[in-house]
């Protein structure tokens, strides 16, 4: 199973081509740095650059006997708060630049949600849809062996990401374990299968984290059009590891899932999609498109649907300057990493559409990864209710600190958004801080504080 991904590539393409992933990170960061005038310039430079970048080229023998070269990457962005942490993705668009940008996101995410990890990311440029299980296993094993001791339970800990899953993590663990016999290697990777050190609740943790952040935000923010998830119309882009879980959990919480999508396109039903039928249909046909009693729509149509909550759970750069003006949701919840471009972010902010940023909304995955790592080190297995209760506490706390910091940055004294914030933004206050800026400010403050407490060596 993999993160099935929808692509609104036409609209996203021009901006994505112009803006490199690292530049996206820099633009988002700049807004946070602007709020932190006292921050040392050297510290800013330090936080902006990855600590270590690895590129590996390696051969794999394919099923037909041919030999094919693959490119892999692992970027360790920061170890200030602890060992590097972040997923491994298999996708044709994986590049060193993309991985570096995503590694930085992991640093901010871990700092914000307060797990003792730095940020990292890895990937192999390949098309998993065209590879057999055998070939995927060979790629994974060879990639991990090439990374050698650059990963480890206390240095850099991989996890699943786009088009990688429990099975991939089992191969990662096994390869590393063969290379390091005679010690507890379980904490070298998270997102493992349950019977080999995986955690209860990890599989659905990203989606569950999205649910908890949305729930808490709605309770705090007082958006007049969206009081709660119950009866909210929800549109989800992507129906893979994250999107399918998000859809199910939001439906179970009483939402109407108006539309979902995958790489082939989207489907819409104003009374709500039958998700069990959609999953079965996707299993049988490889796509949700064509599900009876639904209307087929494009990914662009899907993003522009009128709804209460829009959840991009696919690739990055799906909401871009070309389509941000068409968004008719009351709230955007970023289940994917980097789905909103900086230009789109500014447009949505100006239009008064709050965006729960990726480093908060999708931090449930890395949070339960942290729980898995702790369980592996302590040789324990927590039950599902314990994991979910701990996750909920972390996510609620994350929303609380971001919301409070945002109100402080925006100089809001009343507790709700609508009366005091959205209207002024609609009056075109372009410099108004976003929730993303507030989240980044918290992360950067934590990282700079710890850097100074540790001191620069030597
Ligand atoms: N790939 C996930 C993310 O982007 C999870 C990372 C992890 O668990 O280390 O947050």
Closest C-alpha to 370, from 209, 245, 202, 211: 202
Residue 265 domain-assigned (yes or no): yes
C-beta of residue 313 within 8 angstroms of C-beta of residue 238: yes
Q: Which of 85, 121, 192, 394 is catalytic?
A: 121
118 C-alpha to center of ligand 1: Å?
12
* Model pTM score: 0.94
pLDDT at 413: 75
pLDDT at 222: 80
204 C-alpha to center of ligand 1: Å?
12
pLDDT at 430: 65
Atom of ligand 1 nearest to the CA of 105: 4
Mutate to test the pocket of ligand 1, among 160, 213, 366 (most ligand atoms within 8 A of CB): 366
Query: What is the distance between the alpha carbons of residues 253 and 230, in angstroms, rounded to a whole number?
Result: 6
DSSP string for 315-377: SSS-B-TTTGGG-EEEEEE--SSS-B-HHHHHHHHHTT--EE-HHHHTTHHHHHHHHHHHHHH
pLDDT at 415: 65
C-beta of residue 317 within 8 angstroms of C-beta of residue 303: no
Residue 244 domain-assigned (yes or no): yes
Burial of 384 (0-12, 13-18, 19+ CB in 10 A): exposed
Look at residue 223 and give its three-state secondary structure.
coil
pLDDT digits (tens, 9 = 90+) for 246-282: 999 999 999 999 999 999 999 999 999 999 999 999 9
Say yes or no: 405 and 256 in one domain: yes
Atom of ligand 1 nearest to the CA of 369: 8
Query: What is the distance between the alpha carbons of residues 371 and 168, in angstroms, rounded to a whole number?
Result: 19
C-beta of residue 339 within 8 angstroms of C-beta of residue 315: yes
Q: In the structure, which protein residues have their CB atom closer than 6 angstroms to any atom of ligand 1?
A: 85-87, 159, 161, 190, 337, 362, 365-366, 369
Q: Please identify which residue in the block is written with the tokens 């429990």.
A: 166
226 C-alpha to center of ligand 1: Å?
29
C-beta of residue 8 within 8 angstroms of C-beta of residue 263: no
Mutate to test the pocket of ligand 1, among 94, 111, 159, 313 (most ligand atoms within 8 A of CB): 159
Q: Which residues have C-beta within 8 Å of that of residue 7, sequence separation ≥ 6?
A: 263, 299, 314, 315, 318
325 is catalytic: no
- Looking at residue 429, which CATH number applies to its domain? 3.40.50.720
Say yes or no: 281 and 323 in one domain: yes
Minimal-distance CA residue to ligand 1 atom 8: 366
Length of the chain equals 458
Say yes or no: 258 and 154 in one domain: no
Residue 380 domain-assigned (yes or no): no
Say yes or no: 86 and 118 in one domain: yes
Q: Which residues have C-beta within 8 Å of that of residue 411, sequence separation ≥ 6?
A: none
**Diameter over CA atoms, the chain:** 68
Q: Which of 172, 196, 220 is the last residue of a domain?
A: 196
Taking 70 as the pLDDT cut, the residues of the chain under it are 1-18, 415-430
Say yes or no: 414 and 331 in one domain: yes
96 C-alpha to center of ligand 1: Å?
17
Say yes or no: 179 and 221 in one domain: no
pLDDT at 11: 46
pLDDT at 10: 47
Q: Which of 174, 196, 218 is the last residue of a domain?
A: 196
C-beta of residue 329 within 8 angstroms of C-beta of residue 310: yes
In the chain, the number of structural domains is: 2
Residue 333 domain-assigned (yes or no): yes
Residue 372 domain-assigned (yes or no): no
CB environment 222-242: b (16+ within 10 A), e (fewer)? bbeebeebeebbbbbbbbbbb
Q: Which of 167, 196, 225 is the last residue of a domain?
A: 196
Q: What range does the domain containing 267 cover? A: 205-363+397-446
161 C-alpha to center of ligand 1: Å?
6
Radius of gyration of the chain (CA): 21
């Amino acid at each position: 199973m993999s993160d099935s991904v929808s692509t609104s590539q036409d609209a996203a393409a021009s901006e994505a081509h112009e803006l490199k992933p690292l530049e996206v990170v820099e633009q988002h960061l700049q807004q946070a740095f602007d709020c932190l005038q006292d921050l040392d310039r050297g510290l800013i430079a330090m936080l902006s650059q990855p600590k270590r970048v690895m590129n590996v080229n390696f051969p794999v023998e394919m099923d037909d006997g041919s030999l094919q070269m693959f490119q892999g990457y692992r970027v360790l962005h920061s170890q200030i708060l602890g060992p590097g942490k972040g997923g491994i993705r298999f996708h044709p668009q994986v590049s060193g630049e993309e991985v570096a940008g995503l590694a930085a996101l992991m640093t901010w995410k871990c700092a914000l949600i307060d797990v003792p990890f730095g940020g990292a990311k890895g990937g192999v440029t390949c098309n998993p849809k065209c590879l057999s299980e055998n070939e995927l296993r060979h790629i994974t094993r060879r990639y991990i062996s090439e990374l050698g001791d650059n990963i480890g339970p206390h240095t850099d800990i991989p996890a699943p990401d786009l088009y990688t899953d429990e099975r991939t993590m089992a191969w990662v663990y096994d390869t590393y374990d063969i290379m390091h016999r005679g010690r507890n290697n379980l904490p070298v990777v998270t997102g493992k299968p349950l019977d080999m050190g995986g955690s209860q609740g990890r599989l659905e943790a990203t989606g569950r984290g999205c649910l908890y952040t949305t729930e808490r935000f709605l309770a705090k923010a007082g958006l007049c059009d969206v009081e709660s998830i119950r009866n909210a119309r929800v549109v989800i882009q992507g129906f893979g590891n994250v999107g399918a879980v998000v859809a199910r959990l939001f439906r179970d919480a009483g939402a109407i899932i108006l539309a979902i999508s995958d790489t082939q396109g989207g489907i819409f039903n104003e009374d709500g999609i039958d998700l069990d039928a959609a999953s079965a249909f996707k299993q049988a046909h490889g796509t949700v498109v064509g599900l009876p009693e639904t209307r087929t729509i494009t990914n662009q149509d899907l993003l522009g649907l009128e709804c209460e909550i829009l959840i991009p759970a696919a690739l990055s750069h799906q909401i871009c300057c070309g389509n941000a003006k068409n968004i008719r949701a009351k709230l955007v919840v970023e289940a994917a990493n980097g789905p909103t471009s900086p230009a789109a972010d500014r447009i949505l902010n100006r239009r008064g559409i709050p965006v729960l940023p990726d480093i908060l909304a999708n931090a449930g995955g890395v949070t339960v990864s942290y729980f898995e790592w702790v369980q592996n080190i302590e040789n324990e297995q927590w039950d599902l209710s314990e994991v979910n209760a701990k996750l909920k506490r972390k996510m609620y706390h994350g929303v609380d600190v971001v919301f409070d910091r945002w109100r402080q940055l925006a100089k809001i004294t009343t507790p709700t958004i609508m009366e005091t914030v959205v209207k002024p933004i609609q009056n075109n206050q372009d410099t108004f801080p976003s929730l993303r800026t507030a989240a980044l400010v918290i992360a950067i403050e934590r990282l700079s504080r710890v850097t100074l407490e540790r001191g620069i060596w030597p």
